Amino acid sequence: MSEKKEEFRPYIPAEKITSEFTFTSIFMGIILAVVFGAANAYLGLRVGMTVSASIPAAVISMGVIRVIMRKDSILESNMVQTVGSAGESLAAGVIFTMPALFLWAKEGVTETPSMISITLIALCGGMLGVLFMIPLRNALIVKEHGVLPYPEGTACAEVLLAGEEGGSSAKSVFMGMGLAAVFKFLVDGFKVIPGVVSANIKSLKTELSAEVYPALIGVGYICGPKISSYMLAGGILGWFVFIPAIATFGADTIIYPGTDTIMNIYAENGASALWSYYIRYIGAGMVAAGGIISLIKSMPLIVKTFTGAMKGIKNAGGEGVKRTDQDMNMKVVICGVVGIILLIWLLPQIPVSLVGAILIALFGFFFGAVSSRMVGLVGSSNNPVSGMSIATLLFATLVLKLSGDTGAHGMIGAISIGTVICIIAAMAGDTSQDLKTGYILGATPKRQQIGELIGAFVAALTIGGVLILLDKAWGFGTTELAAPQATLMKMIVEGVMDGNLPWTLVFIGIFTAVVVEILGIPVLPVAIGLYLPLELSTTIMLGGIIRWFADSKSKNKNDEAGSGVLFCSGMIAGEGLVGIILAVLAVIGIDSKIDLSESVNLGTIGGIILLAVMIGCVAYFAMHKKALNTNEKEKSEE
């Protein structure tokens, strides 16, 4: 393993200097940060999930810089996606928590948060997320290259390389993009095919389901069968062990946060309601425990990384350090973190006490490290940022309550802490994916880190206006903008303050994580599978199975540059681009005009057929192209 890491050489060698941090790349990145931030804010508030913007930003920048401007500069395109994707990540952190303050304002608990307050909270969280990741780059990106796949970061690099090299590689990527765009439009644009296919299993009082989205199959293929199977194991544990047990033994019992008997909840809304009421709390506990276990196991490497960084403070970015190894000066990073923590405490617009500021520093670094490692396993789109926020809110609210900070002030403080931590986790994950892309391409880490800070700054300035406008247009908690994550956060804070939080469920998740760790199985992928809906893990597993089958038939095992990976990278990009387009169409009110669901609805059969077509496409590119590549290599060796 060490030899492979030593032999790795990026696409652009360290000794080669090329355009990277330019006016063009920064300006385009800023525009995309604003656009993606606004679009994802709407999308997340509507359905509770956001789409990763790294690959769409890379594709757009590649089109403008290479096709329109006719410039041959892959590192400029990489800088565009680095800055642009920061907007999406910051928006995800804000919309999962901040709308709770708007909901309390409607109930008369507090005042509506101001534009300045939202901006300052978002800015502090965004900056800390980037700064916390910087000392971890060498440990997670460099030292664990080949161990942590970073699916979206790798996919983004493959997309940019395919555009650079052209030929069959580019065809594989753009074929994946085109097909995924068609599939996505059929499901979420024209809505003639359902996004989820499911089958009720009445004997177990549960259901088996799978999402009909190409990006999930792509993520599963890139992650591989092992990580995909861990995620599916978590899903099976939740849906085929916990849910049947709760439905069977709970029966006529009313358990908070449910307001009716378990059997009535199941009878009215099915197994998904039991997952929403109970399994998510178990999953939150497992994610929190898995994060602690992961951090403890990574601590020696993290300490070693910090020690090396501190020793190299005088040399950081200076002489004797290769361009591709240059990080921001550690003195600047440490001073920046300390300064932001003090601002969080002192600024009146951020209702956080000294205790809260200390909690942000501790939880911020912890979840920043966990998030950076987690996206290395399952990608940014499947990074359970809200799960980490739940864990933070549970602890922070309890600490504030014990310190006497209760009532409206304590609840607002808890949500503010949770918001900053949520943004930190989202930004750290995005930064690590972008740095992985840069590591493969040969970008300068220091310049990328500055680009991330610029993207976070611009997105923070605009996200407040977006939230206020959306609240005035439809209102949070309505049919148009359900804000599911923020509603859950609000319920958790109220539950802890009122003393009726289901701690039993949380501790079930914690001790489940302990059991999984004792068995020698990585906890985080299993915890993610438990926390996320089963339909995600099922479809990801399908991609993992295709990868296993393709590798088993190929002489060139684990071919990371094969056409299967390129095709799946294109699928992730295609769905991401169309997701952004559909979000924009929804904001301007055109989405209803292309909705054909009332006149044409292919139902479950259509979903199964489309899922089969996706599997067939991935299998064809994985098997057919890989066989051609293997034959060409054998001939060249002869």
Give 337-364 pLDDT, tens digit per residue.
999 999 999 998 888 888 889 888 888 8
pLDDT interval class at 637 (50, 70, 90): very low
Check residue 170 and give its pLDDT: 59
Rounded to two decimals, the pTM is 0.73
Whether residue 187 is predicted with pLDDT greater than 60 in this model: the reply is yes
What's the chain's length in residues? 638
Phi-psi region of 556 (alpha: psi -120 to 50; beta: other; left: phi over 0): beta
What are the residues whose beta carbons fall under 8 Å from the beta carbon of 220, sequence distance 6 or more? 228, 539, 540, 541, 542, 543, 544, 545, 546, 547
Check residue 381 and give its pLDDT: 60
- Looking at every residue in the chain, the average pLDDT score rounds to 82
Check residue 317 and give its pLDDT: 46
Whether residue 299 is predicted with pLDDT greater than 80 in this model: the reply is no
Percent of the chain with pLDDT over 90: 24
Residue from 372, 421, 429 nearest 397 by CA? 421
Average pLDDT over residues 228-251: 92
pLDDT interval class at 118 (50, 70, 90): very high
CB < 8 Å & 24+ apart, contacts of 301-309: 301/139, 301/143, 302/136, 302/139, 302/369, 304/139, 305/135, 305/136, 305/138, 305/139, 305/143, 306/135, 308/138, 309/135, 309/138
Cβ density class 510-527: b for 16+ within 10 Å, e for less: bebbeebbeeeebbbbbb
- Residue 618 in tokens: 């991935």
- Residue 398 in tokens: 């309890």
- Which amino acid is present at 72? D
Whether residue 295 is predicted with pLDDT greater than 70 in this model: the reply is no
Return the minimum-mean-pLDDT range out of 524-528, 608-612, 632-636.
Answer: 632-636
Whether residue 628 is predicted with pLDDT greater than 60 in this model: the reply is no
What are the residues whose beta carbons fall under 8 Å from the beta carbon of 243, sequence distance 6 or more? 204, 205, 206, 271, 274, 275, 278, 279
